[in-house]
């Protein structure tokens, strides 16, 4: 595990964008595993800037996203499809047919998950997986559990996650109770994993995840075993780590 400590969110976003840009420069048709949430927004802004400056070309880049709410249509502003479109896809020259998210509108969970695993398998490996960190240690929507889920599956979101994500919705009742998420096994199979963590409110879970025992009760902790894991975190998030 490599830790890049930054002053604040802005510097974290710049450093992460530089790392992702290097992946694209080295392999123009790379597969990027992408994430949503507030943590990667600044990173996407920096990638867009690099694209606008003519430093990056997304025309051959392919992407698979971590997760999607079950029951939200693409047009719904809270869907992760909408988020990705709004924050990155519509602002760079990535081909929409090369971007992939689980189908939140497929009511048959087994079918949705199987189809998404087939999409991921057809990519022949994710070159870089970007992650945020949930307050309960979740990655994607892999919530604390008795075991690590390997492949794409449907999850019941925990109270803590629903509470944390309600800020994006009109009311807590509008937050979907379920989501489709890539499994921990798929995340661990990525050639490189970059996690972004910012803010004092993440300091305790960051310490538990990367300086405590590896356990499915803290899903992110398994990244301690990843051979090419880079944690890009700001001073506040690292404030409990000696």
Q: How far apart are CB 59 and ligand GLP at their closest, in Å?
A: 26
Catalytically annotated residue among 100, 138, 153, 226: 138
Q: How far apart are CA 222 and CA 224, in angstroms?
A: 5
Q: Which of helix, strand or coil describes residue 192?
A: coil
Site residues, ligand GLP (CB under 6 A) = 35-39, 66-67, 132-134, 140-141, 161, 165
Does residue 110 have an active-site annotation? no
User: Please, which residue, 102 or 132, has the CB nearer to ligand GLP?
Assistant: 132
Nearest approach in angstroms of CB 202 to ligand GLP is: 7
**27 vs 71, which CB is nearer to ligand GLP?**
71
Q: Residue 236: which residues within 8 A CB-CB, separation 6 or more?
A: 8, 198, 199, 200, 202, 203
CA distance linking residue 119 with residue 121, whole number of Å? 5
| 136 part of the active site | yes
* Residue 100 a catalytic site member: no
Set 136, 149, 208, 234: catalytic member: 136
DSSP assignment of 9-62 equals HHHHHHHHHHHHHHHHHH-TT-EEEE--SSTTHHHHHHHHHHHHTTS---TT-E
Out of 67, 103, 117, 234, the active site residue is 67
The least distance separating ligand GLP from the CB of residue 233, rounded to whole angstroms, comes to 12
State the catalytic residues: 67, 136, 138, 143
């Amino acid at each position: 595990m490599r830790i890049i400590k930054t002053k604040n969110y802005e510097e974290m976003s710049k450093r992460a964008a530089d790392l992702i840009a290097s992946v694209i420069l080295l392999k123009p048709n790379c597969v990027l595993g992408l994430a949503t949430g507030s943590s990667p927004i600044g990173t996407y802004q920096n990638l867009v800037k690099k694209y606008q400056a003519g430093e990056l070309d997304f025309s051959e880049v392919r992407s698979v996203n971590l997760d999607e709410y079950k029951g939200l249509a693409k047009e719904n502003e809270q869907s992760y499809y909408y988020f990705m479109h709004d924050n990155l896809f519509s602002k760079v020259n990535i081909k929409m047919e090369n971007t992939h998210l689980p189908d939140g509108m497929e009511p048959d969970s087994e079918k949705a998950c199987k189809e998404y695993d087939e999409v991921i398998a057809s990519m022949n490996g994710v070159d870089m997986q970007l992650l945020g960190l949930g307050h309960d240690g979740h990655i994607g929507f892999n919530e604390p559990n008795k075991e690590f889920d390997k492949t794409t599956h449907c999850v019941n979101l925990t109270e803590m996650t629903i509470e944390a994500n309600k800020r994006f919705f009109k009311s807590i009742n509008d937050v979907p109770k379920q989501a489709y998420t890539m499994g921990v096994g798929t995340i661990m199979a990525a050639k490189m994993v970059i996690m972004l963590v910012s803010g004092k409110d993440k300091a305790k879970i960051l310490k538990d995840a990367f300086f405590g025992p590896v356990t499915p009760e803290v899903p992110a902790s398994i990244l301690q075993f990843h051979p090419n894991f880079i944690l890009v975190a700001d001073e506040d998030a690292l404030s409990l780590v000696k």
